Amino acid sequence: MSSDLAIDVCGVTKKFGTRTVVNNLAMQVRAGEIYGFLGPNGSGKTTFLRMLCGLLTPDGGSGQCLGLDFRRDSAEIKKRVGYMTQRFSFYEDLTIVENLDFIARLYGMAGRKAAVQKSLERLGMVERRRQLAGTLSGGWKQRLALAACLIHEPKLLLLDEPTAGVDPKARRDFWEELHHLAAEGLTVLITTHYMDEAARCHRLAYIAYGNLLASGTVEEVVRAGRLTTWEVMGDNLWALADKIRGLPGVEQVVAFGTTLHVSGRDAETLAASVAPFRANAHRWTQIEPGLEDVFISLMETAKDNFV
């Protein structure tokens, strides 16, 4: 394993019964990198995270996490990883400071009081330290969860849809903190459904139904999608959408605000199919496809493994 890789695994596989939920997955994440992990619900993202930190045993695969064998040394890896689950998993009838102290006890930390105070200060929770966790808003619950992940000073954060259900300002503040942590050398692997968050990652991967379909920087993923996209403006766009949806070369017709995005991977066939409609009152402009265009295309072409 290269010394600059925090995660370097290949062939990672997990089955539940006859269903393969993670299929021969490979991933390399550099130290100090924010790596986005995207895909539809049920695609295997959470299962993969749980295998990385030793909560699930993989059926196949090899490699290292933080320089340790991710299968053989799972107990040691747990001590060096902060894992933030999708659901708020703290005691709602305990205060913020009591929850953090409890987490510090679980890790058997020396100097617990100082560690808790440092976490409170870092996430701006000193004034709320006596507030019951159950009375916190979504954004403050998120801060508590992140503070708990960081209290034992991990080298890797595994964050499973951490910003779901929080307001835009809380999401922005959360991402500013993540980039600050990454600048200090902490590695972050984060799952998200938000395209603006995906664009904030240094690199990303897209998984659908257990299979890795794309990886790289945002620019590399968009380029690899090989989509041609037309933006359409004008009145009665839904009527137009009904007419062109399903035509040869037209793989997706998606509303984006007051416009339509019409996309396909066969540029010539797509152009021929929409040519008769470009003479009407609508304004057609060929644009660079966005990350969301590419991910919708990947999702629609992926085969569901729920069998």
Residue 115 lies in a domain: yes
Residue 143: closest CA among 170, 167, 169, 164: 170
- Judge if 169 and 284 occupy the same domain: no
76-119 pLDDT, tens digit per residue, is 999 999 999 887 778 889 999 999 999 999 888 888 999 999 99
Residue 299 lies in a domain: no
DSSP 70: T
- Judge if 60 and 15 occupy the same domain: yes
The alpha-helical segments, DSSP class H, found in the chain are: 45-52, 74-80, 96-106, 112-122, 138-150, 168-183, 195-198, 218-225, 237-244, 267-274, 291-301
- Judge if 99 and 51 occupy the same domain: yes
Of 169, 189, 221, the last residue of a domain is: 221
Q: What's the rounded Cα separation, in Å, for the pair 138 and 52?
A: 27
106, two tokens: 């679980």
- Judge if 185 and 114 occupy the same domain: yes
- Judge if 133 and 12 occupy the same domain: yes
- Judge if 44 and 115 occupy the same domain: yes
Residue 301 lies in a domain: no
Find out whether 264 and 227 touch, Cβ atoms under 8 Å: yes
- Judge if 145 and 27 occupy the same domain: yes
- Judge if 20 and 112 occupy the same domain: yes
CATH at 258: 3.30.70
Sequence-separated (6 or more) residues with CB below 8 Å from residue 193:
38, 161, 164
- Judge if 178 and 42 occupy the same domain: yes
- By residue range, what is the domain housing residue 73? 5-221
User: How many angstroms from the chain centroid is the CA of residue 131?
Assistant: 30
Of 221, 244, 279, the last residue of a domain is: 221
Residue 298 lies in a domain: no
pLDDT at 1: 46
Residue 295 lies in a domain: no
Element (H, E) at 303: none
- Provide the 10 A C-beta neighbour count for residue 211: 18
- Judge if 156 and 251 occupy the same domain: no
pLDDT one digit per residue (tens) for the chain, 307 residues: 456 999 999 999 999 998 999 999 999 999 999 999 998 888 899 999 999 988 999 999 999 999 999 999 999 999 999 999 887 778 889 999 999 999 999 888 888 999 999 999 988 899 999 999 999 988 898 889 999 999 999 999 999 999 887 888 888 989 999 999 999 999 999 999 888 999 999 999 999 989 999 999 999 999 999 999 999 999 999 999 999 999 999 999 999 989 999 999 999 999 999 999 998 789 999 999 999 999 888 887 766 665 5
CATH at 155: 3.40.50.300
Find out whether 294 and 222 touch, Cβ atoms under 8 Å: yes
The pTM of the full predicted model, rounded to 2 decimals, is 0.90
- Judge if 240 and 123 occupy the same domain: no
